[in-house]
């Protein structure tokens, strides 16, 4: 379903310990620096971001190695090929990010698991040389006079060329234009730009993070372990769409933390944990389903202030994850996403929870394609039932929204 179809309330649930841990390791492989950060951590799991700054000569490829001090293991990575043997980890560049100019940076990230503690590594090496944060000469001083040929008249670039603002593959230009024209004509009674609660608006209002509430519309109980697995799956799936934007057209974020700050349930006894990591809303029924506090919901407070939210603005929620027993298919809009609880629970460890990914696309404005197909396109995740992963066409449709809306945020 399209955005804003349901007036569903949304609740938020908080994500856990250790958020924001950052370690800066000084490194040199002829000169480099590595920043390792943990923006999200939950019971037994975490998300880490790694940034490599090249302080030496330009690189054409890179391989970063380190050892985990607490027995952590990596379960999923992006923007790098990661291998692990015991505590030893190696991350190598992809085909598109191997070149790193002097003073430029390259980043990648991963999700991981740990048993008891999640101590951050502090020592890294790039291409076999331990990092120290300063430039180390790779050769001694010359023993003969330098060549007499003149130096180049222009200095070599020290940073990568800027990413083009809009450079889709030529075969996608026409279908992308068709999609955008269709959206302009059909959204919000022909006033697409007048609507101010797309996922883009919510994310930019927060300056780069999203809060969720889970509406548990089921009679089943939920253990603390299941709760944490739901949170982790939600974060992984959300990241798939956010990663589409990294480095593109002045997109301001390299990582978008997704926090669950609340759960709504009919009976408190269904939630089998006693900690206070999330706000819990009991028997607040709307649309015949548990609802999180309306004063805390972005859908109900689109001005972005939450004066009557019991937990304060920090505990507000932007989206609801509405998990309904026996529900087939899905729904999505500016209020959040709705899928079957059995479906989502059965897909917790799946690489792509494709119905959820489709519905999250609607939150960010992407259209449905039940009655038409753009020129030359066949199968993509926003055409329900035709693909189980985000395709290149999906990615460029997503980026097209940013192209048209970014000026409202000053970009």
Quick one: pLDDT at residue 274? 93
Indicate the pTM of the whole model.
0.63
Measured between alpha carbons, how far is 102 from 31 in angstroms, rounded to an integer?
9
Are the C-beta atoms of 299 and 11 separated by less than 8 Å? no
pLDDT at residue 324 greater than cutoff 90: yes
Confirm or reject CATH 3.40.91 for domain 196-409, answering yes or no.
Answer: no
Least confident of 8-22, 84-98, 114-128, 300-314: 8-22
Quick one: pLDDT at residue 310? 86
Measured between alpha carbons, how far is 25 from 35 in angstroms, rounded to an integer?
6
pLDDT single digits (tens) 344-382: 999 999 999 999 999 999 999 999 999 999 999 999 999
Q: What is the mean pLDDT of residues 1-24?
A: 38
Quick one: pLDDT at residue 147? 43
Measured between alpha carbons, how far is 12 from 213 in angstroms, rounded to an integer?
3
HEC string for the chain: CCCCCCCCCCCCECCCCCCCEEEEEEECCCCEEEEEEEEEEECCEEEEEEEEEECCCCECCCEEEEECCCCCEEEEEECCEEEEECCEEEEECCCCCCCECCCCEEEEEEEEECCCCCCCCCCCEECCEECCCCCCCCCCCCCCCCCCCCCCCCCCCCCCCCCCCCCCCHHHHHHHHHHHHHHHHHHHHHCHHHCCCCHHHHHHHCCCCEEEEEEEECCCCEEHHHHHHHHHHHHHHHHHHHCCCCCCCCCCCCCCCEEEEEEEECCHHHEECCCCCCEEEECCEECCEECCCHHHEHHHCCCCCCCCCCCCHHHCECEEEEEECCCCCEEEECCEEEEEHHHHHHCCCCCCCHHHHHHHHHHCCCCCCCCCCCCCCCCCCCCCCCCCCCCHHHHHHHHHHHHHHHHHHCC
Angle, CA of 113, 115 and 121, to the nearest 5°: 65
**Measuring CA to CA, which residue among 95, 66, 97, 93 is closest to residue 80?**
93
CATH class of 32-136: mainly beta
Q: What is the mean pLDDT of residues 128-142?
A: 66
Quick one: pLDDT at residue 151? 39
Model confidence at 23, pLDDT cuts 50, 70, 90, reads low
The boundaries of every CATH 3.40.390 domain in the chain are 196-409
Angle, CA of 137, 138 and 141, to the nearest 5°: 65
Quick one: pLDDT at residue 304? 87
Q: What is the mean pLDDT of the chain?
A: 86
Q: What is the mean pLDDT of residues 107-113?
A: 84
Quick one: pLDDT at residue 25? 53
Question: Distance of CA 265 to CAs 117, 270, 291, 329, 337, Å?
Answer: 31, 8, 8, 22, 17
Model confidence at 118, pLDDT cuts 50, 70, 90, reads very high
The boundaries of every CATH 2.60.40.290 domain in the chain are 32-136
Range 164-179 burial, b when 16+ CB lie within 10 A, else e: eeeebeeebeebbebb
**Measuring CA to CA, which residue among 379, 405, 404, 406 is closest to residue 394?**
379
pLDDT at residue 264 greater than cutoff 90: yes
């Amino acid at each position: 379903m399209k955005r804003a179809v349901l007036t569903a309330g949304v609740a938020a649930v908080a994500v856990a310990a250790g958020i924001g841990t950052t370690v800066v390791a000084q490194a040199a492989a002829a000169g480099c620096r590595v920043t390792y950060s943990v923006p999200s951590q939950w019971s037994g799991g975490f998300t880490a971001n790694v940034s490599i700054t090249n302080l030496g000569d330009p690189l054409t490829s890179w391989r970063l190695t380190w050892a985990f001090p607490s027995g952590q293991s990596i379960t999923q990575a992006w923007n790098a090929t990661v291998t692990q043997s015991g505590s030893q980890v190696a991350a190598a560049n992809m085909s598109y990010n191997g070149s790193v100019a002097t003073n430029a940076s390259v980043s990648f990230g991963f999700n991981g698991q740990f048993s008891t503690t999640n101590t951050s590594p502090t020592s890294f090496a790039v291409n076999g040389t331990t990092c120290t944060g300063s430039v180390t000469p790779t050769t001694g001083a010359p023993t003969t006079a330098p060549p007499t040929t003149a130096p180049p008249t222009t200095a070599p670039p020290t940073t990568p060329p800027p990413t083009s603002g809009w450079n889709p593959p030529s075969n996608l230009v026409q279908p992308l234009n068709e999609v955008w024209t269709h959206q302009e004509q059909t959204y919000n009674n022909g006033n697409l730009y007048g609507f101010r609660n797309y996922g883009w608006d919510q994310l930019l209002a927060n300056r780069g993070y999203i809060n969720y509430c889970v509406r548990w519309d089921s009679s089943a109980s939920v253990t603390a372990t299941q709760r944490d697995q739901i949170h982790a799956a939600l974060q992984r799936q959300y990241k798939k769409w956010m990663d589409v934007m990294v480095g593109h057209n002045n997109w301001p974020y390299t990582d978008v933390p997704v926090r669950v700050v609340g759960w709504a349930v009919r009976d408190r006894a269904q939630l089998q944990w006693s900690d206070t990591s999330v706000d819990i809303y009991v028997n607040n029924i709307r649309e015949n389903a548990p609802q999180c506090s309306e004063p805390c919901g972005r859908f109900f407070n689109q001005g972005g202030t939450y004066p009557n939210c019991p937990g304060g603005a920090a505990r507000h929620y932007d989206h609801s994850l509405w998990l309904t027993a026996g529900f087939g298919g899905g729904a999505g809009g500016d209020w959040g996403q709705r899928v079957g609880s059995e479906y989502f629970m059965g897909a917790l460890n799946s690489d792509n929870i494709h119905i959820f990914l489709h519905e999250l696309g609607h939150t960010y404005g992407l259209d449905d394609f039940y009655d038409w197909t753009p020129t030359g396109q066949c199968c993509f995740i926003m055409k329900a039932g035709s693909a189980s992963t985000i395709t290149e066409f999906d990615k460029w449709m997503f980026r097209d929204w940013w192209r048209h809306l970014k000026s409202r945020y000053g970009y």
